[in-house]
Chains A and B, each alone.
Chain A
Amino acid sequence: MQRIGTGLLLVACALLSACAEAPSDAIRMGVASAPITLDPRYATDATSARLNRLLYAQLVDFDASARPVAALAQWQQLAPTRYRFRLDPARASFHDGSALTAADVKATYDSVRDPTNDSPHRSSLEMIERIVVIDEHTVDFELSRPDPLFPGYLVIGVLPRKGIEAGHPFDRRPWGSGAFELAAWPVEGLLRLERRADGQLFEFLHVSDSTVRVLKLLRGELDLVQNDLPPELVRYLERQPHIDVRHREGGNFSYVGFNLEDPILADLRVRRAIAHAIDRRVIAWHLLGGETRLAAGLLPPEHWAGVDFDAYRYDPARARSLLAEAGYGAGSPLRLNYRTTSDPLRLRIATVIQRQLHDVGIQVELSSFDWATFYADIKAGRFQLYSLSWVGIKSPDIFRYVFHSTSVPPAGANRGRFQDALVDGLIEAAETAQEPARRARLYQELQKRLLETLPFVPLWYEGQFVAARTDIHGYELSADGDYDSLAQVQRRPAGVREARFAP
């Protein structure tokens, strides 16, 4: 009996000693979903994309107005279909010390364009015909047709050519030239990166449960938590002495989509009624972060092509009269189905919207599904109403992708089967407009038209927040929820003199 006990204890110890040892001075960030792949040619989820921005350098980035700006390279348009990129002479080397050259840029983009590699980003680059290396620091991109938005597509992290050729597993062992490099990735939920400038270690812990994330933050097991928390927990954190919470506006756009092939929803009056029936202000106040802004169009006001109109005011009386006009009332109530994912925050909001529509006489049945089923249904057009968000939209080519009449799935994301000749015309005109100011005006016209025809009801741009322990300094929120400012973050315990730490 005793021997069995001892044996079990020994086994337990042996197994436990295999646990990863965490260095205590690493700065730890809690993330709601784990990164899937650290190969920028394949990453499509938000967490992987954000981490890749830390690990790799990309040719082009965006400014506060979402205009493409030089990151790794400056460019020059030599001809309508030819762009020359000159790499920044002060650029960082790859993590192994080797220099980043134009050949690496060509190798990276060629491998994304190669159909045998199955990259999900391939079709965003289909207008590239050829990539030509001019010299060590210069590379030309030749297009098959002019596209004024072109440089904005070159946002994929640059990989070393010799790594690509050797078939290096970038997805698990990222090899880039970014400010961070991989230190360890022992298990799925724990990623350790090292900041190249000073060797500071950062850990990204996957904690899907929001309460657990908050508790870990309180206990010091995490130092930073960004977004993905219900507002009650954010308020709770604001009351804690050792936690700093900061907010800022965001650009992620939420909306309620309509299926315009449905006879009920094809009636514009019904759609307008729904837009007037939703009290977005009340939802934003109670259920969303403090910096949430009501939205009128897909692109936020700070975007170079963004809009700032007054959207549909909350007016249940107007909603009711529109419905009456359309032939619905107490005798023949309107019944609709509303699809959402099973994400708790989305569901919470959807439930409130369901109640608000109920208050103007619309009976809404709420269907919540896991992401896969939900997504399949909306692409196949098996829905009446649904709500979703667009995350990290920078380039206005989204309008063609979502609203052009030829973009019905699987060709695009026009899930509502929206057909409007004026919208098609505006999209096409904006694509060929050469002058940036004219382009911006056309996109704004377009968004105004979309607000009149209501293929969707724009809801809001969700605010962002970060909760950090008070000894963490230097973290700035970005508009998209990126982690870029981790490059400047320092841990500075209170009570220790400033002079001890390098600036």
Chain B
Amino acid sequence: MIQFLVSRLLSALVVVFGVVCLVFLLLHLVPGDPVDMMLGESARPADRAALREALGLDRPLLVQLGEYLGGLAQLDLGTSFHSRRPITDMLLERLPATIELAVAGLLVAVLIAFPLGALAAVRKDTPWDQGAMTFSLIGVSVPNFWLGPVLILVFSLWLGWFPVSGRDGIVSLILPAITLGTALAAVLSRMVRSTLLEVLSEDYIRTARAKGLSERQVVIHHGLRNALLPVITLLGLQLGTLLGGAVITETVFSWPGVGKLTVDAILRRDYPVVQASVLLISVTYVVVNVLTDLVYAWVDPRIREARA
């Protein structure tokens, strides 16, 4: 088990290093000049040259990479070209918003997927099952950048139930969470259905039924509980969908999180911010994957025994 842990961590580190280098290199082969972006139309050339020097854009590529890696070691993610603020501050400022949205999206997804998947599994091959799976299919097919505006149109504009955008209390979280969570709910409900189907065909379920437990007790206490763990570990792998979807959802709702920051920075050619936020998101994803693998390995005795 320890061996597994160590080897997994090592490969994760290699991946993270690869990610850093990849992100760094890509951004430096770009057309467009961030100095012009910062100073605007009527800036004088002398000032531009000074700024370029101050930001270190005139030094050779490898030196810049070295400096960047050194900075990372000290948790210094650089300074934004656009606002000249330390990026670490900017990310820390916006992280709570993204975490909020991700958690809420996850909650929505779980609240939709579990009942839906359970229903589909229990009533397999009936219209309930087909209906649930169609619903899930639709959920995967509706793009979040369309669902968002439609939800805003109906629930904010026509019905006036929710605020339109921005982060302003729990009510403003609902529409973005639904937008983000729907795609995940769709995927998740299928997983719940198939896992539950597998579990429900196990022997101990038959035993439970034979013992005279009600169907509901069988499904919920024995079925879902045992289906839960595999689904949760699969959930970790779906985090990528959540984080990726958050980027667009945050843009649609002007949700002040890391995703929106990334898109704004890309459109503004704010190299350091793009680097830092892509890095943050990817590293988060890698960490969660590692944790998920570990949980999965710990849970699945086959893997645990094999490495012991």
Binding site for B on A (CB under 8 A): 1, 8, 11-12, 15-16, 18-19, 22, 36-37, 42, 44-45, 115, 118-124, 171-172, 187-189, 205, 207-209, 212, 215-216, 219, 221, 370-373, 375-376, 379, 388, 390-391, 398, 401, 409-413
Contact = CB atoms under 8 A, between A and B. Distances in A.
B100 A36 contact: no
A466 to B, nearest CB: 20
Interface string B88-127: 0010011010011001100100000000000000000000
Given A37-B83, A371-B37, A209 B165 contact: yes
A18 B228 CA distance: 31
Contacts of B31: 373, 376
A188 B36 contact: no
Contacts of B103: 8, 11-12, 15
B174 to A, nearest CB: 12
B48 A118 contact: no
B173 interface: yes
Contacts of A391: 41
Contact of A212 (B45, B47, B254): B254
B164 A215 contact: yes
Most A C-beta atoms less than 10 A away, residue of B50, B90, B225: B50
Contacts of B54: 118
Contact of B32 (A189, A219, A373, A413): A373
B141 to A, nearest CB: 25
Interface string B15-50: 000000000000000011110111111111111111
A207 B163 contact: no
Given A16-B173, A221-B168, A413-B41, 20 more contacts: A15-B96, A19-B167, A19-B169, A36-B82, A36-B84, A37-B84, A44-B42, A118-B50, A119-B47, A188-B83, A188-B94, A189-B254, A212-B165, A370-B269, A372-B32, A372-B268, A376-B31, A379-B36, A390-B41, A409-B45
Contact of A188 (B38, B39, B173, B256): B256
Given A15-B103, A212-B254, A410-B48, A22 B168 contact: yes
Most A C-beta atoms less than 10 A away, residue of B33, B99, B165: B165
Interface in B49-86: 49-51, 54, 82-85
B50 A115 contact: yes
A182 to B, nearest CB: 16
A123 B169 contact: no
Contacts of B238: none
Contacts of A45: 40
A370 B156 CA distance: 31
A188 B33 contact: no
B267 interface: yes
A22 B107 CA distance: 27
Given A12-B103, A118-B50, A215-B157, A207 B166 contact: yes
B131 interface: no
Contacts of A120: 39-40, 43-44, 47, 51
Contacts of B268: 370-372
A12 B164 contact: no
A122 B37 contact: no
B244 interface: no
Contacts of A215: 152, 156-157, 164
A372 B164 CA distance: 30
A122 B167 contact: no
A16 B176 CA distance: 14
Contacts of B36: 372, 375-376, 379
B170 interface: yes
A219 B160 contact: yes
A412 B50 CA distance: 16
20 contacts: A12-B100, A12-B104, A19-B168, A36-B83, A37-B83, A120-B39, A120-B40, A120-B44, A122-B47, A123-B47, A124-B44, A212-B165, A371-B268, A372-B37, A372-B268, A373-B269, A376-B31, A391-B41, A398-B42, A412-B45
Contacts of B83: 36-37, 188
Interface of B: 31-34, 36-51, 54, 82-85, 90, 93-94, 96, 99-100, 103-104, 107, 152, 156-157, 160, 163-170, 173, 224-225, 228, 254, 256, 267-269
A411 B45 contact: yes
A390 B42 CA distance: 9
A54 B46 CA distance: 29
B221 to A, nearest CB: 10
A428 B136 CA distance: 72
A22 B90 CA distance: 21
A123 B170 contact: no
A194 to B, nearest CB: 20
Contacts of A372: 32-34, 36-37, 268-269
B102 to A, nearest CB: 11
Contacts of B254: 189, 207-209, 212
Given A12-B107, A15-B96, A123-B47, A205 B37 contact: no
A376 B47 contact: no
B28 to A, nearest CB: 14
A410 B45 CA distance: 5
Contacts of A42: 84
A16 B164 contact: no
Nearest to B53: A118
A43 to B, nearest CB: 10
A1 B84 contact: no
Nearest to A21: B169
B100 A123 contact: no
A376 B84 contact: no
Contact of A219 (B46, B163, B269): B163
A188 B80 CA distance: 13
Most B C-beta atoms less than 10 A away, residue of A216, A398, A409: A216
A122 to B, nearest CB: 6
B46 to A, nearest CB: 5
Contact of A122 (B34, B41, B44): B44
A212 B164 contact: yes
Given A19-B168, A209-B254, A375-B37, A187 B107 contact: no
Nearest to B38: A44
Contacts of B96: 15, 18
A15 B99 contact: yes
Contacts of A172: 85
B154 to A, nearest CB: 13
B100 A15 contact: yes
B83 to A, nearest CB: 5
A372 B266 CA distance: 10
A118 B51 contact: yes
Nearest to B162: A219
A393 B85 CA distance: 29
A123 B37 contact: no
Most B C-beta atoms less than 10 A away, residue of A42, A45, A372: A372
A52 to B, nearest CB: 14
Q: Which 3 pairs, one residue from A and one from B, show the smallest C-beta to C-beta distance?
A: A123-B44, A372-B32, A410-B45
